[in-house]
Structure 1
């Protein structure tokens, strides 16, 4: 029987108990819409996890490597455009990659998983091959193909490739989700290396992008052949009903607002650390690897997030990671040599990986009925996507053509700190409810 969804203003032991909300055991109960518990293993489950890992590798792993494109476009290919205009390309890709979850989430709940994966993979592959046809100075073509088309393709796959893990895993859910999402920073390590050597080498832009498109297309094909869903009863979730319930849940609202504010500053290092290194006179060959260093640490952060959060609590570790990211972004004011790039890349990379890895598990904790997870992800990510959309362009405007790095560093660090403080408010509310049962 489908369990009753509790409102945050009614009795809900799962949300009242800080230990339950803080730890992964809080959402280890069977998914209400399934006929049996998730198997928590087996070939089908792990093959699906591997396919989802590849989706993350080719999806947000490619988005997170936009810093290589930002540097190449600014210095060579789109020299007539200011950095803020070029950053709109990456910002729009990020926006659609997250915002399209509003569409893919409900469709996933209705059993359209395979169709979404196939269409999303085809759109992303097509966008990259079309990008290779762009000529120097063709900003609007690059903007539409790389910013819009690729973003939509990635968005159709991104959220549901994490949500489907809940069909196969229960006790290991947070751990497996963190391993799956580690595909993004691993992709953000490999793709920049390829792109920097291809775009800046003898291959050139057109052939370099085609080679990258072929690589991504093969991996997406393998991913689509690997993933499977469990046969679950058709859900009867009303999207409008879920939206109304979410609008009355204080913790869900705080999480959404906090994530949105935090992401306004979150993408500044990802988009600009390579350009920052080059402009500070650091060796160009080393600067090409600044994103690699950052994303190598991000892989470790995502892989260890599930393990550490099992002891610290998902929300507690999220708070720690957002505060650390804020401090690292402010510290980019001091970036001036190779040592500072390495230290900042390692610190920011690790804790940004933790934050991203725990975002969906935290949302899962706040979802009493797993049949609503896709819809809730769509609602949450649609709102938070506006933070990512504003991040790069705002940073570019603050940076200006004079490259005043301290201004965007300080602004983005402080705005991230404001977002992390909202997570602290969540923690205080949960603590208070756990002590005296108050829901106010």
Structure 2
């Protein structure tokens, strides 16, 4: 353990000593000791550092829509949409599946190891991507290497915030997760603009150097606060979690959300280029950035609402409205319709990214195991991410280019997620009509 970490552990109260103690219903989020900062320079530096991690994890993933469009028109024009979507799906898969290892590593005190490894792999993967000319090269560099690198960074970005915030946990998490939206906007604009000016190779290299520069800031400021001691890694699974009905329902809901969520992100631009924006193809290429712009307030406002009605109910509203938006996508056949859908999808789906970690913290008694439980959930979500876009691409191929079956597939998955969240709410609060959860 580093000297800095030792000093922190010796001067700050522990979380683990509080695990398992009873709590009052009106203090659901009060699972850490009374000395929690809940503000101050150090706590907000953690927010800034985790914001950067989301900027370069989900921000990278949210950018794949512009890569999907470029690959289908230029670099990999001979490949089917389904084959190309596998690249982004595998990137998302590794981003999530690595969490089953990084969660216990984080709980064991190896934050710095995760940050250094993740930063190195993201930079290496992007630099290798800039040299790629074939499908399998792109799959290995962007899908596997960048995916694993972002996987090392994802769990720390979520697990740090509950250790520093109690009252303001939801809004702090909302600020952190908005990093993925800003990352999606900036990386989409950088790629779209530079690929026309400098070509694919230098566009990707510049993205790599941006990622390296900002990730070094996170490496400098992020610190664990709990009393975990670096040493043998804990078990990869917390088996007791699967005996808790709320956790099982939470995992099922999140799996369904990942099946449906990525389909519009991947196919937003290709759909627009053939449905309403054929004559505005330059504008259509910026739809991914427009979607991510709409997602910025979509991450922050649900976090504020969660303080009033609870994270479970706020997450349900976000999923239900996202499902409605996806079904409205079916009738979108004009330029303004596509732009409106991009904004609406970004805004309503923001809570689907901002609130899962807060929701899990609200139903977890022992926050010293939050990294492990996030990792377990991420493992399941990884398979949802792996299923969604390639399945949508296969459906699109079988439908002869008709997007309606793809849109129905995505919409049903998201609505099913909202139904499971209703069951989660009942499991937490009982059958009370009015209750925060």
TM-score by length of 1: 0.90
1:248 aligns with 2:263: no
Corresponding position of 2:294: 297
1:103 aligns with 2:101: yes
Match of 1:27 among 22, 29, 33: 29
Cα distance, 1:147–1:242 mapped onto 2, change above 3 Å: closer
Q: Distance in 2 between matches of 1:351 and 1:235?
A: 40
Alignment check: 8 A CA contact 1:189 1:291 kept? yes
Q: Deviations over 1:245-300 (max 9, x none)?
A: 11100110011011112221111111110111112215111112211221111110
Corresponding position of 1:399: 396
Corresponding position of 2:110: 112
Match of 1:60 among 54, 58, 61: 58
Query: Higher mean Cα deviation, 63-72 or 345-354?
Result: 345-354
Q: Deviations over 1:14-59 (max 9, x none)?
A: 7xx5xx5xxxx4112325xxxx622122222212211111111111
Alignment check: 8 A CA contact 1:293 1:342 kept? yes
Alignment check: 8 A CA contact 2:59 2:183 kept? yes
Q: Deviations over 1:139-169 (max 9, x none)?
A: 0010011001101000001111121122222
1:341 aligns with 2:356: no
1:415 aligns with 2:413: yes
Q: Distance in 2 between matches of 1:313 and 1:43?
A: 27
Q: Distance in 1 between matches of 2:224 and 2:92?
A: 26
Alignment check: 8 A CA contact 1:61 1:183 kept? yes
Counting only pairs closer than 5 Å after superposition, residues 173-322 of structure 1 correspond to structure 2 as 173-199=169-195, 201-230=196-225, 232-234=227-229, 239-240=234-235, 243-280=238-275, 281-322=278-319
Match of 1:158 among 154, 163, 182: 154
Unpaired stretches in structure 2, ≥5 consecutive residues? 1-15
Corresponding position of 2:7: none
Q: Deviations over 1:181-200 (max 9, x none)?
A: 1000111111111111122x
Q: Distance in 2 between matches of 1:166 and 1:126?
A: 31
Corresponding position of 1:9: none
TM-score by length of 2: 0.90
Count residues with an aligned counterpart: 415
- 4+ residue segments displaced more than 6 Å: 235-238
Cα distance, 1:431–1:285 mapped onto 2, change above 3 Å: same
Q: Distance in 1 between matches of 2:56 and 2:93?
A: 16
Q: CA RMSD in A?
A: 2.1
Cα distance, 1:97–1:182 mapped onto 2, change above 3 Å: same
How much has 1:399 moved relative to structure 2? 1.3
Corresponding position of 2:355: 358
How much has 1:228 moved relative to structure 2? 2.3
How much has 1:232 moved relative to structure 2? 2.3
Corresponding position of 1:328: 325
How much has 1:106 moved relative to structure 2? 0.4
Corresponding position of 2:429: 431
How much has 1:390 moved relative to structure 2? 0.8
Corresponding position of 1:134: 132
3-state DSSP of counterpart to 1:170: coil
